[in-house]
């Protein structure tokens, strides 16, 4: 279902996810490279960066992402979704160039912050843009392409780190940092040829253009196709309705009927970070060494395998999300991740030996004396990553992008995305401290967070699969059941509601 043009447009826009994923993954390998440490500190005798420097280099990107995602909201409404993608790409390229040419710590953190502005804008606007192009039957799959490209970017970054680690001189870290500029340039140029969002066009009164875009994406250019006409009229009617109750400020998003959607949208992004996934992605080499691998090279290679697994495990979610639904995928993923993290932490705590780093004085879990336990922990980390890739990775971007009315979609998505980056920043700052202060307790903490997530989704999150963006009002007002599909709507026929049984009524959210 869906034309080749639609798939091509959504896949190309997802290059924004590739930029995001690559920049996330590349820093974990660069941080451990000796030539990078020397350039950042100016001291060739130091073997690694301080905890503060490590946290700042990773955290400044995330601070930029937080601000960029907020700024992208007004830009998406005023300038359009398409032009916001162009602006985000340009800013990302500038940030990547500054990182690649950095002559010291100050220039590096400035480059990280500017790149973060671009990534924050792209991470907010790409899922929103994809959601407004996609038909309801495959919306999850098309928005899920964003997460698939993120995982591909992370994988490429890890293997770039492995490939350049042994090089002499600054090229060992400048090459992997410079590679990220390439997808940014491709997206910048190609975005000029992307169509405008038909929903944005209709909101601006450009109705004829909107109908043309809908026809190009959904019926190979046939503007008289019944499903195209039905979707066009449905969007137009919803816009007229929303204009009567238009939201004028961000504060109004937290009032009335919108408040529930805002809280759920923000929570899903916060929860995505409290799975602990980015602690694994940012500090993967250090974590694998802590789990028992005996060299930095082995840690990097294990991280590369981790990146490949991340890509492969995301594919089933993209293919089957619209069949299984968002709730089942989130709950199953949280259970799998929580189990893996708790088992990993328990084995580290029970078998590992807590030692002290002679240079920094940090606590370290030494697992090298027990190969079986060491490999068990590494397998648990792999299972955790697979669980995330299957579930909260893609759904974390899909759900917030589809639940808001058109009149506030850009504002709402910018806030939920900013929540993601804020928590991402918090995790990046506290994770290295947690790893050296409470060691194995870090994994148990994230495992408990996953248990809370599964419970919250079960009780509070309604199912959104198979519903058009214009039908979300019914979903969140309780007219549509959460567990069972009792609401149907044909392309051209009237809305129909099945009468729920007493047992089915228990499934209402």
% of the chain exceeding 70 in pLDDT: 86
Separation of alpha carbons 327 and 146, rounded Å = 19
Q: What is the pLDDT of residue 494?
A: 37
In tens, the pLDDT along 168-204 reads 899 999 999 999 999 999 999 999 999 999 999 999 9
Per-residue pLDDT of 24-62, as tens digits, reads 778 877 988 999 999 999 999 888 888 788 878 877 888
d(CA 144, CA 88): 20
pLDDT bin (cut points 50, 70, 90) of residue 159 is: confident
pLDDT digits (tens, 9 = 90+) for 77-132: 999 999 999 999 999 999 999 999 999 999 999 999 999 999 999 999 999 999 99
What per-residue string of b and e applies to 365-387 under the rule 16 or more CB within 10 Å gives b? bebeebeebbebbbebbbbbbbb
User: What is the C-alpha separation between 158 and 300, in angstroms, rounded?
Assistant: 7
Distance, CA of 137 to CA of 319 (rounded, Å): 12
Backbone dihedral region for residue 462 (phi beyond 0: left; psi -120 to 50: alpha; all else: beta) = beta
- Of 364, 362, 338, nearest to 352 (Cα)? 364
Whose tokens are 């979300």? That residue is 472
Kindly indicate the confidence band of residue 480, based on its pLDDT and cuts at 50, 70 and 90. Answer: very low
Whole-angstrom Cα distance, residue 395 to residue 399? Answer: 6
Lookup: tokens for 183: 């997808």
What does the pLDDT read at residue 499?
A: 43
| Residue 92, token pair as written in the block | 């990302």
Task: Decide if 156 contacts 25 (C-beta within 8 A).
Answer: yes
pLDDT at position 31 is: 87
151 CB-near residues (< 8 Å, 6+ apart): 21, 307, 310, 311, 314, 389, 393
Could you count the other beta carbons within 10 Å of the beta carbon of residue 103? 9
Structure-token pair, residue 257 = 């009927």
pTM score over 0.95? no
Q: How many Å separate Cα 387 from the centre of its chain?
A: 14
3-state secondary structure of 247: coil
The C-alpha atoms of residue 343 and residue 447 are separated, in whole angstroms, by 9
Q: How far apart are CA 387 and CA 378, in angstroms?
A: 14
Strand partners, 353: 366
Instruction: Output the CA–CA distances (angstroms, integers) from residue 183 to 126, 141, 173, 450, in the order listed.
Output: 15, 22, 18, 33
Per the CB < 8 A criterion, the answer to whether 392 and 316 are in contact is: no
Neighbours of 450 (CB within 10 A): 27
CB 66 within 8 A of CB 120: yes
Angle between helices 15-30 and 171-179 (to 10 degrees): 160
3-state secondary structure of 355: strand
DSSP assigned state of 82: H
At residue 156, φ and ψ (nearest 5 deg) are: -60, -40
Structure tokens at 402: 């589809």
Angstrom distance (rounded) from CA 200 to CA 105: 42
C-alpha closest to that of 330 among 403, 372, 393 = 393
Lowest-confidence region among 31-35, 342-346, 374-378:
374-378
pLDDT band at residue 482 using 50, 70 and 90 as cut-offs: very low
Phi-psi region of 361 (alpha: psi -120 to 50; beta: other; left: phi over 0): left
Task: Please give the pLDDT value at position 371.
Answer: 78
CB 114 within 8 A of CB 94: yes
Tell me the C-alpha to C-alpha distance, in Å, between residue 438 and each of 31, 53, 281, 359, 365: 22, 20, 19, 18, 10
Q: At what angle do helices 15-30 and 81-100 cross, to 10 degrees?
A: 20
Token digits of residue 82: 């398409």
Compute CA 319 distance to the chain's CA centroid, rounded to the nearest angstrom: 17
Which CATH number is 4-194+245-460's, of 3.50.50.60, 1.20.1250.20, 2.115.10.20, 1.10.3720.10?
A: 1.20.1250.20
Residue 268 reports pLDDT greater than 90: yes
Contact by Cβ (8 Å): 417, 294:
no
Q: Can you give the pLDDT at residue 32? A: 81
């Amino acid at each position: 279902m869906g034309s080749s043009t639609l798939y091509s447009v959504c896949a190309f826009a997802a290059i924004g996810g590739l930029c995001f994923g690559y920049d996330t993954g590349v820093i974990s390998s660069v941080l451990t490279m000796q030539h990078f440490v020397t350039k950042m500190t100016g001291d060739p005798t130091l073997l690694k960066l301080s905890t503060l420097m490590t946290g700042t280099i990773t955290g400044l990107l995330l601070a930029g992402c937080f601000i960029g995602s907020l700024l992208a909201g007004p830009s998406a409404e005023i300038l359009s979704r398409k032009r916001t993608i162009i602006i985000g790409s340009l800013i990302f390229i500038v940030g990547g160039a500054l990182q690649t040419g950095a002559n010291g710590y100050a220039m590096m953190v400035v480059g990280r912050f500017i790149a973060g502005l671009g990534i924050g804008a792209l991470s907010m606007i790409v899922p929103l843009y994809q959601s407004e192009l996609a038909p309801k039957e495959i919306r999850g799959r098309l928005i899920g392409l964003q997460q698939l490209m993120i995982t591909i970017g992370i994988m490429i970054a890890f293997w770039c780190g492995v490939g350049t680690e042994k090089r002499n001189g600054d090229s060992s870290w400048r090459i992997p940092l410079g590679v990220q500029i390439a997808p940014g340039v491709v997206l910048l140029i190609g975005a000029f040829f992307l169509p405008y969002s038909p929903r944005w066009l209709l909101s601006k009164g450009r109705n004829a253009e909107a109908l043309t875009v809908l026809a190009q994406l959904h019926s190979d250019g046939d503007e008289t196709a019944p499903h195209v006409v039905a979707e066009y009229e449905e969007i137009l009617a919803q816009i007229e309705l929303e204009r009567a109750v238009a939201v004028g400020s961000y504060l109004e998003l937290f009032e009335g009927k919108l408040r529930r959607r805002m809280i759920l949208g923000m929570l899903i992004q916060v929860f995505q970070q409290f799975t602990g996934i980015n602690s694994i992605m940012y500090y993967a080499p250090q974590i694998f060494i802590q789990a028992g691998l005996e060299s930095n090279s082995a840690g990097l290679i294990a991280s590369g395998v981790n990146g490949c697994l991340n890509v492969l495990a995301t594919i089933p979610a993209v293919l089957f999300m619209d069949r299984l639904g968002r709730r089942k995928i989130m709950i199953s993923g949280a259970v799998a991740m929580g189990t893996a993290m708790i088992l990993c932490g328990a084995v580290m705590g029970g078998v590992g030996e807590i030692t002290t780093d002679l240079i920094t004085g940090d606590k370290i879990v030494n697992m090298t004396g027990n190969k079986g336990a060491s490999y068990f922990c590494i397998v648990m980390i792999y299972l955790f990553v697979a669980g995330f890739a299957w579930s909260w990775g893609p759904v974390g971007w899909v759900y917030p992008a589809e639940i808001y009315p058109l009149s506030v979609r850009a504002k709402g998505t910018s806030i939920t995305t900013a929540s993601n980056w804020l928590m991402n920043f918090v995790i990046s700052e506290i994770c290295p401290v947690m790893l050296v202060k409470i060691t194995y307790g870090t994994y148990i903490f994230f495992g408990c967070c996953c248990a809370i997530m599964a419970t919250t989704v079960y009780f509070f999150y309604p199912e959104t699969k198979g519903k058009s963006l214009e039908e979300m009002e019914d979903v969140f007002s309780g007219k549509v059941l959460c567990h069972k599909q009792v609401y149907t709507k044909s392309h051209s026929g009237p809305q129909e509601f099945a009468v729920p049984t007493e047992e089915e009524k228990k499934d209402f959210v």
